Amino acid sequence: MNLEEIIREENIVYRRTPLLTDKALSYCPGCGHGTTHRLIMEVIEEMGIQSDVIGIAPVGCSVLAYEFMDIDMIEAAHGRAPAVATGIKRTWPGKYVFTYQGDGDLAAIGTSETIHCCNRGENITIIFINNGIYGMTGGQMAPTTIPGMKSSTSPFGRDTAMMGYPLKITELIAQLPGTYYVSRQSVHTPASVRKAKKAIRKAFENQKLNKGVSFVEVVSNCNSGWKMTPVQANKWLEENMLAYFPPGDLKVDGQLVEQGKTS
Amino acid sequence: MGKIRGAIVVDTERCKGCELCVEACPTDVIRMERKVNSKGYHYAYMEHPESCSGCMNCGIICPDGAITVYRVKEEKVSEET
């Protein structure tokens, strides 16, 4: 069997989802943002809810997310995406509303909005991309930078005695009664991407139940900010980031998952 | 028994040469082309197309969605024993 016989329309098993626009992604080569964008769009395509989804774009590397996702989107002020999402969801309770935020947006400037939105139990989905650094502005130290990690403002590594500890915001909000589903995933290997997609799918389907916030953290690489190649960055992520931010479900169906039992 | 055959088609203009697909491929099919696309990136191509099983790992890991994966079950001709 030659290649011409294999490469035929009817044999396609995987293709770029048409819900992503034709625009070239503005992200660096190998960036997890592109993978996560695609996962969200694939979930929306599979659920057939393209016309019922409203997304909120953040400020940060993914500020142009509305250019790449072929759905209705709004750009929120820095960190205020959960507040904007609250307004939209309360106006249109029947729509699927999600925010897409990075760690600088969600865990730094928008900590207050995030925590209060989760505490109010708004029926939205929050996708949180955590790469441990302020990627867009040049790799400065973020609240999620792990101890010892080098960044442009912590060139000798994060010293917790002086700079404090990384913010485990996902653990923090899992404790709030307003959250219904809290999960942490990563996108560094094909297996983890498949798992992350399942978590995002669950987070969107939970909106039908009207039980509270569904929160998915996606631990991602930032190879430009970490000064590594994409392949090295994913290895570093697996060895260091995932040790501090262990992947798995933290809260399922409103019940906290016991430590060590995470899948 | 039929053998599973796969193939990939890379959108060479969309590929940014991050090489994550090379790392993700379990059968070591993908390599980076010496030539570059209009943006100056080396793009992925199939070096060993006969080994491809169409597992979709490269398509799933590609951040830019540049890879389309094809898979077909090869039917063995009945005359062969």
Q: Per the domain annotation, does A4 fall within a domain?
A: no
**Cα–chain center distance at A130:** 7
CB contact residues (below 8 A), chain B span 22-81, against chain A: 22-24, 41, 49, 54, 56-57, 59-72, 74
pLDDT at A189: 95
pLDDT at B80: 47
Mean pLDDT of chain B: 90
Q: Per the domain annotation, does A49 fall within a domain?
A: yes
CA distance B8 to chain A (A): 8
B17 contact residues in A (CB cutoff 8 A): 29
Q: Assess A25–B contact: CB distance below 8 Å, yes or no.
A: yes
Tell me the per-residue pLDDT of B29-60, one tens digit each, with 9 for 90 and over. Answer: 999 999 999 999 999 999 999 999 999 999 99
B67 contact residues in A (CB cutoff 8 A): 14
Q: Can you tell me the ipTM of this complex? A: 0.89
Q: Do B63 and A27 touch (CB under 8 A)?
A: yes
Q: Quick check: B79 pLDDT over 60?
A: no
Q: Quick check: B77 pLDDT over 80?
A: no
CA distance B23 to chain A (A): 7
**From CA B66, how far away is CA A44, in angstroms rounded?**
19
B11 contact residues in A (CB cutoff 8 A): 16
A229 contact residues in B (CB cutoff 8 A): 19
Positive or negative, the CA dihedral A158, A163, A169, A175 is positive
**Which CATH number belongs to the domain containing residue A85 in this structure?**
3.40.50.970
Tell me the per-residue pLDDT of A55-113, one tens digit each, with 9 for 90 and over. Answer: 999 999 999 999 999 999 999 999 999 999 999 999 999 999 999 999 999 999 999 99
Q: What domains are there in chain B, each with its CATH number?
A: 3-74 (3.30.70.20)
Q: Which residue range(s) make up the domain with A74?
A: 27-256
Q: Do B70 and A30 touch (CB under 8 A)?
A: no
Q: Per the domain annotation, does A16 fall within a domain?
A: no
pLDDT at B75: 76
Q: Per the domain annotation, does A153 fall within a domain?
A: yes
pLDDT band at B76 (very low <50, low <70, confident <90, very high): low
pLDDT band at B1 (very low <50, low <70, confident <90, very high): low
Q: With beta carbons less than 8 A apart as the criterion, state whether B66 and B15 touch.
A: yes
Split into its structural domains, chain A has a count of 1
Residue in chain B lying closest to A233 (CA) = B20
Burial class (CB in 10 A: 0-12, 13-18, 19+), A146: middle
Tell me the per-residue pLDDT of A75-86, one tens digit each, with 9 for 90 and over. Answer: 999 999 999 999
- % of chain B with per-residue pLDDT over 90: 84
Q: Quick check: A19 pLDDT over 60?
A: yes
Q: Per the domain annotation, does A261 fall within a domain?
A: no
Q: With beta carbons less than 8 A apart as the criterion, state whether A122 and A178 touch.
A: yes
| The Cα angle at residue A102 between residues A101 and A108, in degrees rounded to 5 | 105
